[in-house]
Structure 1
Amino acid sequence: MISFRNKSRMLRRITVSRLCLFLAGTLLLLLWLTRWQLFHSHSGLESPSGSKHKHLLILSSWRSGSTFVGQLFNQNPSVFYLSEPAKAIWATMSDRSHSFLQQPMRDLLKALFLCNLSALKPYLTRSEFVSDIYDWSSSRALCSPPTCDKFQGLNLEAGQECYHVCHLTPFERAEKACLTYNHIVVKEVRFFDLKVLFPLLMDPQINLQIIHLVRDPRAILASRPITRGLKDDNNIISESYNSTGNIYTVMKKICNAQLNIYHTAVYDLPPSLMNRYVIVRYEDLMRDPMPYVKDWYKSMGLTVFPRLLSWVRHNTHWLLPKNGASLPSSKGSAILPELWRKKLNFQKVQIIQDMCQKEMDTFGYLKVKSEKEQLDRTLNVVLPRKDSWTE
């Protein structure tokens, strides 16, 4: 026979167990809702706060469409844009591993968001002119007043003209010009770890947001052979300092890095920082860029203007050349993301699918099981967003 005291103890244990189950269920529900909000909206970024200074990091990997996303912001006259400044660190410290370089990159990024462009100088062979900054002529801010008074503004296609007019502009003018902007946007492809960026996300002085751009690894592999200047980066990634880096080793590390960045954002970001990170697939962006652009601009406190709309239409709405000629690198469309289906042989597709399976499953890229499926354009290999985000 069970005593009253024993019954009370049993009831307390049952109550505590139910309470623990309830709390665990609530926690899982909050986590699911956070993930749903993060990935099932166009933006996911927080709305403008009281601070007028808002800065953005476009976080991606090589050949994933980050240049296009960068130009979406570079076209805005209120944005000071820099393209891959950390390349200077990799060029100077090419004998170090990519893991070692993450912290120096973070420190450089912090300095740049505070308009301390002089932080670049230790990594440059020369820092006399604005043209000593990597890819400077693609930046509207570096090709227009107050940086360069000789050139009035920049369209993406005007980089060469800017180079001839503004290349002797003193380096210090870029730093002074930066201070006149409320929005600094940097695009980077060399970060493999999101945790190293946590101090920047938590710094109210920087007020940073992150757009994480991912792309089908099969498309990345297909576009890498035609891209110059990747050899040194490949060697650092694969740690093949005295030889040529293996492309599949490089791709494996890139896939793992993008997946780890995503998992870190979902599981390790403090709740107060969740709305400072958003992930977008290149394929979704190319299908319909403007909803993303409008939401991103709104979150940054920027105005969408007619010239930007015209630029987006010009660089995304076009037809494939009938003669099979190569496509202009500055243009994108809903067709471009799947060109890998013709460019890669099925053996390479199989290798990259097996190597990057976790990333493909997580980001919603369907594996093809045969050459016939690979060439079947009616088979959608990019799953709908609502089905694509899995653990």
Structure 2
Amino acid sequence: MECRCSPLRIFLLFTGAGFVLTTLYSLNAEDLAIHTQILSHMVTKIPGTLDTVSEQAPDEMKMREMLHVGSARSPSADVNKGRLPINEDNVIEDNDLRTSKDFPPLKASSRTNLLIVTYMRSGSSLTGNMFEMDPSVFYVFEPLHDLKWYKWGENINIQYLMSRSNIMRESIYTKVAGKTIRRIFRCDFPKLDIATLTQYHMQSSPHTKSYHTCLQRYPGVLNILKCMPILYNRCKAAKVGVIKTIEFPITAAKDLATKDRTLKVLHLIRDPRATLLSQVSHGRFSWDAIEEESSKYCKKVLEDVQVTRQWYMESQTRIKILFYEDLCQNPSSEVEELYKFVGLNYTEDTEIGIKKLTSAASDRTCVICTQRKSSKKAAERWRGKIRIEYVRIIDRNCMKLYRYVGYLPVENLDVLRNVSHPLRIITHV
């Protein structure tokens, strides 16, 4: 029989079938059998490809029905196959094919949200931990991580769960990142891109870790909606939403806060010498590039601080600046002020949690670990590691920033190594 469809339609049909196979590659045998039926149905339609949308609609409905029937296994059956149960209020429903209507976004004015804006290796993990210990908070750890890497690509296609794809370019990164932040704060997860919904940092917050665990147990793009109730219910129940970001422009944060009166911003700063040392240690750049990198970094931070200062003069209730060194030196008093800023109650449990993080029995050593025997000593540890010649380069390139925020240049090696000698004077930025 001669095929009545054009070569283009055949190509598109096989491309669609290939996409389904790719996204569902990780389903178990029972799922695979169901979706093989669907693909077989699609392929057998090639000789008689229909020419009208109305004629194609019944086939789409049949496929949906097959998906629905195929997902009707009981959760206990999976447990019996060796899978561990998801203990998150039994929100996983295998017999529901969920849609975005199952996750209505919060109203913009329904709660307070806090955006932590800072730079790589500047103490944001510890700062975020101070909020995540409160049971009324929904905390998301660096949700822009994958988007940030995409912006350096060449017209990378960003795939969304419930909407059309978007071509990522560096010129539109801030706009896309801002939308992502707003959607997370409103618990509007179906409108997020797939990379953000599945990135590994979802395991870095206790409030998103159960969702990440669910994705690990039920892999595949279609299963994102199966696991999404865990994320959505935790977000919706929170009194305060908190997001920590790295290198999101403070000007863009101010624009977000202008559009959302419930959004507050915390601008976190750390001694540039400590930050740059840590960035080198974690492979951001090498010491050979310290001249250029220190100049670029301190210029960026100075510009941000100037915006923050002007914003603070306009509205002290919307923006707050925090020095990492202050948080480490006086964690209890600083966290109490942070809690007041967002309307959280500072309780005895909060105090206990702070002591566990800042006065623990031993240090935890990993890239984002924050538990320390002494947060005071941890904040000054860089002074015993960095070489004096690198310090002098940083001091020279960062002098304008120092004068603005109170950091002091190092006179000699003895001053650098003597942690009792302060390298910052208290200023009111």
Map of 1:226 onto structure 2? 281
Residue of structure 2 in register with 1:54 after alignment: 112
2:392 is equivalent to residue 350 of structure 1 = yes
Percent of aligned pairs sharing the same letter: 24
Distance 2:214 2:393 in 1: 43
Q: How does 1:178-193 map to 2 (within 5 A)?
A: 178-191=235-248, 193=249
CA distance in 2, matches of 1:162, 1:245: 43
Q: Please report how far the alpha carbon of residue 263 of structure 1 lies from its aligned counterpart in structure 2 after TM superposition.
A: 0.7
2:259 aligned counterpart, secondary structure? coil
Code of the aligned partner of 2:239: N
Distance 1:171 1:190 in 2: 29
In structure 2, give the amino acid aligned to 1:366. Answer: L
Question: Aligned to 2:140, what secondary structure does the other structure show?
Answer: strand
| Pick aligned residue for 2:255 from 199, 202, 207 | 199
Q: Distance in 2 between matches of 1:319 and 1:359?
A: 36
SS in 2 for 1:58: strand
SS at match of 1:211: strand
Partner of 1:103: 175
Secondary structure at the residue paired with 1:267? helix
Deviations for 1:105-125, whole angstroms, at most 9, x for unmatched residues?
Answer: 22221221111223432545x
1:118 corresponds to = 190
1:65 paired with 2:123, answer: yes
TM-score normalised over the length of structure 2: 0.61
| Residue 199 (structure 2) aligns with | 133
Determine whether 1:359 maps to 2:415: no
8 A Cα contact 1:113 1:184, kept in partner: yes
- Aligned-pair CA distance for 1:172: 2.1
2:310 equivalent to 1:253: no
Cα offset, 1:285, TM superposition? 0.8
1:216 aligns with 2:285: no
1:179 is paired with a residue of what secondary structure?
Answer: helix
Amino acid at match of 2:201: D
Partners of 1:227 and 1:100 lie apart in 2 by 28
In 2, Cα distance between equivalents of 1:330 and 1:268: 30
- Equivalents in 1 of 2:214, 2:398: separation in Å? 40
SS in 2 for 1:81: strand
SS in 2 for 1:362: helix
Alignment partner for residue 322 of structure 2, among 270, 280, 283?
A: 280
Tell me the SS of whatever aligns to 1:202: helix
Contact 2:308 2:321 (C-alpha < 8 Å) held by counterparts: no
Per-residue deviation, 1:331: 2.7
Structure 1 position 265, deviation (Å): 2.2
Q: Segments of 4+ in structure 1 off by > 6 A? A: 96-99, 161-169, 325-328
Tell whether the 8 Å contact from 2:298 to 2:398 is kept in structure 1 after alignment. yes
Provide the C-alpha distance between the structure 1 equivalents of 2:332 and 2:171, rounded to a whole number of angstroms: 36
Contact 2:148 2:173 in 1 (8 A): yes
SS in 2 for 1:339: helix
Once residues 409 and 362 of structure 2 are traced to their aligned partners in structure 1, the CA distance between those partners, rounded to angstroms, is 25
- 1:299, CA displacement in angstroms? 2.9
Q: Distance in 1 between matches of 2:258 and 2:358?
A: 35
Q: Structure 1 residues 371, 163: CA separation in 2 closer, same or farther (over 3 Å shift)?
A: farther
Q: CA offsets, 1:300-340, max 9 Å, x none?
A: 2222333332221122125899xxx9999423411112222
Query: What's the secondary structure of 2:383's corresponding residue?
Result: helix
Change (3 A) 1:105 1:252: farther
Q: Secondary structure at the match of 1:224?
A: helix
CA distance 1:284–1:254, change in 2 (3 Å) = same
The answer to whether structure 1 residue 92 and structure 2 residue 134 are counterparts is: no
Q: Which has the larger radius of gyration?
A: 2
8 Å CA contact 2:266, 2:322 repeated in 1: yes
Provide Cα deviations, 1:241-298, integer angstroms capped at 9, x if missing partner.
xxx9945433333322222122112225682x33210111111110111112112222
Match of residue 10 from structure 2 = none
Quote how far apart the aligned CAs of 1:361 are.
1.9
In structure 2, list runs of 5 or more residues that go unmatched: 1-108, 155-168
Separation in structure 2 between the aligned mates of residue 70 and residue 326 of structure 1, nearest angstrom: 16
Q: CA–CA distance in 2 between the matches of 1:328 and 1:133?
A: 16
In the alignment, the residues of structure 2 paired with residue 327 and residue 110 of structure 1 have an alpha-carbon distance, to the nearest angstrom, of 27
The one-letter code matched in structure 2 to 1:182 is K
How has the CA–CA distance of structure 1 residues 111 and 121 changed in structure 2, closer, same or farther, with 3 Å as cutoff? same
Letter in 2 for 1:214: I
With a CA cutoff of 8 Å and minimum separation of 6, indicate the structure with the bigger relative contact order: 1
1:371 to 1:123, Cα distance in 2 relative to 1, 3 A = same
> Residue 138 of structure 2: which of 80, 85, 94 is its match?
80
Which residue matches 1:382?
424
Q: Which moved more, 1:167-176 or 1:84-93?
A: 167-176
Residue type of the alignment partner of 1:172: M
Q: CA deviation at 1:194?
A: 2.1
Rounded to whole Å, the distance in 2 between the matches of 1:212 and 1:143 is: 26
- Could you say what the CA RMSD is over the residues aligned between the two structures, in angstroms? 3.3
Change (3 A) 1:254 1:306: same
Judge conservation of contact 1:87–1:134 (CA < 8 Å) in 2.
no
- 2-side partners of 1:165 and 1:303: how far apart? 36
- 1:216 Cα offset (Å): 0.4
Q: 1:364 to 1:319 in 2, by over 3 A?
A: farther
Which residue, 305, 322, 342 being the options, matches 1:300?
A: 342
- AA in 1 matched with 2:302: L
Give the match for residue 175 of structure 1. 232
